[in-house]
Amino acid sequence: MNVWVFLIILVALSFDFFNGFHDAANSIATVVSTRVLTPQTAVVWAAFFNFVAFLVFGTKVANTIASVAEPGTFTNASIFAALIGAIAWDIITWFLGLPTSSSHALVGGLAGAAVASVGWGALVSSEYQKIAVFIVLSPIMGFLLAFTFQTAIYWVFHRYRRVEKLNRGFRRGQLVSAAAFSLGHGGNDAQKTMGVILTVLIANGIVAQGSAVPLWVVLSAHTAIGLGTLFGGWRIVHTMGTKITKLQPVGGMSAESSAAVAIGLATFGGVPVSTTHTISGAIIGVGTTQRLSAVRWGVAGRVVWAWVLTIPGAFTVAYVAYLPFKAFL
Amino acid sequence: MRLSRRPLFFLVVTATCLLLYEPTPSSFRWVNLSMAALSFFWFVLLSAEELLAQRGKGGPSSEGDRS
């Protein structure tokens, strides 16, 4: 393994670490804001389920990421440019306050680097079509499932008068739903990094095209995202749980379990989706059971802008980042 | 009699799922159909709830609030 490969794997794992660091808030914000767990305990809870996700989900998402471009397209330089594009776009949008998806940034970055190095013909349109459709479908799934789940709970329990006992049950339920969401997050997001590392290994002839993801790649990606969650979570925990709509334990449970189902389905189908956008959709679904004005539509609107801007933005940064390599190689 | 924004929002979601049907790879089209069906179910149910409430009160309800 040469220095380039080692460096790119290190950058990819850092990307994964910061994904966990940043997205931990999505998994635990509702459990913390409803005071089911303290921030510190919630972070450990989420990090554990982020890590063990590899036991539940396969590596279909990683294979999708590794096949977004025709075989032989990616070189060390283009993968490096793709990661630069994704990371730079994440930093730019973090400054602008746009809730963009690291996953979409990575997909956009890979596309930009592939086009800069080989041309438009390098992109596998069927894979991009699948990813693009699910950019819109996954938040819709989160929204509809959460609305349905929350309404079903209202229907079942609306005559139940022992509110305190009921709330205790929902608080316990939230532990399970937060775990399920963290499992989905770890499963889908860690696999994107695995896909990048797999691409590097294929580009350097370390593994053959179409091979399974090596176990050390699976374990290192899950370790990176788990550690990121552990270190990052509780400082940015106030975001999702309170910014879109105010949540009760029952709402948190509905939102997390619905998002977990949506992300789990996508992961089993091999589709990289944004966990941030899916949980946002689910929280909006819970808010909509009260009334539309219970949802802060400004935040929801910014998610839509993030859909539109992320892939072209990361594409452009990665394209530009590859140009110096093109001039010298 | 008129509908509030909430049922109409579900109608828009139904339309979005159906619009995405064609570009969705065939192995995932069941997601579009099931989500469109679920959304349409809620559109019908919320519309019926509002229209019945309006008939009872003799005027439009305020934004479909659940009371």
CB contact under 8 A, B28 and A290: no
Distances (CA, A) of A119 to A69, A129, A171: 10, 18, 52
Q: pLDDT band at residue B67, thresholds of 50, 70 and 90?
A: very low
Among candidates B25, B31, B42 on the partner chain, residue whose Cβ is nearest the Cβ of A147: B42
Cβ atoms within 10 Å of B23's Cβ, excluding its own:
12
Answer whether A133 touches B (CB < 8 Å).
yes
Interface touch B25/A126, C-beta < 8 Å:
yes
Higher pLDDT, A267 or A54: A267
Q: Is residue A1 scored above 80 in pLDDT?
A: no
d(C-alpha A32, C-alpha A13), whole Å = 27
pLDDT band for position A277 (cuts 50, 70, 90): confident
Q: Searching chain A, which residue's CA lies closest to the CA of residue B22?
A: A133
pTM of the model: 0.85
User: Could you read off the pLDDT of B3-28 as tens digits, one per residue?
Assistant: 888 889 999 999 999 999 999 999 99
Amino acid A152: pLDDT: 93
Amino acid in the structure at residue B37: A
* Longest Cα separation, chain B: 48
Chain A residues with beta carbon closer than 8 angstroms to that of B16: 136, 140
A329 versus A256: which is more confidently predicted? Answer: A256
Nearest-by-CA chain A residue for B66? A290
Identify the CA nearest to B38 among candidates A149, A182, A228. Answer: A149
Q: What is the pLDDT of residues A313-327, one digit of tens each?
A: 889 999 999 988 877
- In terms of Cβ atoms closer than 10 Å to its own Cβ (0-12, 13-18, 19+), residue A161 is exposed
Ordered DSSP codes for B1-67: ----HHHHHHHHHHHHHHHTTTTS-GGGHHHHHHHHHHHHHHHHHHHHHHHHHHHHHTS--STT---
Interface membership of A278 toward B (CB under 8 Å): no
Question: In sequence order, which residues have a C-beta less than 8 Å from that of residue A51 and are 6 or more positions away?
Answer: A186, A222, A223, A225, A226
The verdict on a CB contact (< 8 Å) between A288 and B9 is yes
Look at residue A47 and tell me whether its pLDDT is greater than 70.
Answer: yes
Check whether A305 has a pLDDT greater than 60.
yes
pLDDT tens by residue, B35-66? 999 999 999 999 998 898 888 776 555 444 44
So where are chain A's domains?
3-328
Q: Answer yes or no: do A133 and B25 touch at CB < 8 A.
A: yes
What confidence tier does A292 reach under pLDDT thresholds 50, 70, 90?
Answer: low
**Which residues 91-130 on chain A approach chain B with CB closer than 8 angstroms?**
126, 129-130
Mean pLDDT, residues A4-30: 83
Minimal Cα distance from A291: which residue of B?
B65
pLDDT of amino acid B28: 93
Residues of B with CB under 8 A from a CB of A: 4-6, 9, 13, 16-17, 20, 23-25, 27-28, 31-32, 35, 38-39, 42, 63-66
Q: How far apart are CA A273 and CA A266, in angstroms?
A: 7
Q: CB within 8 A of A87, min separation 6: which ones?
A: A11, A15, A18, A105
- Percent of chain A with pLDDT strictly greater than 70: 89
Please give the mean pLDDT across all residues of chain A. 84
Read off the pLDDT band of A239 (50, 70, 90): very low
Report the pLDDT value the prediction gives residue A232, as an integer from 0 to 100: 67
What would the DSSP string read from start to end of A135-202?
A: HHHHHHHHHHHHHHHHHHHHHHHTT---HHHHHHHHHHHHHHHHHHHHHHHHHHHHHHHHHHHHHHHH
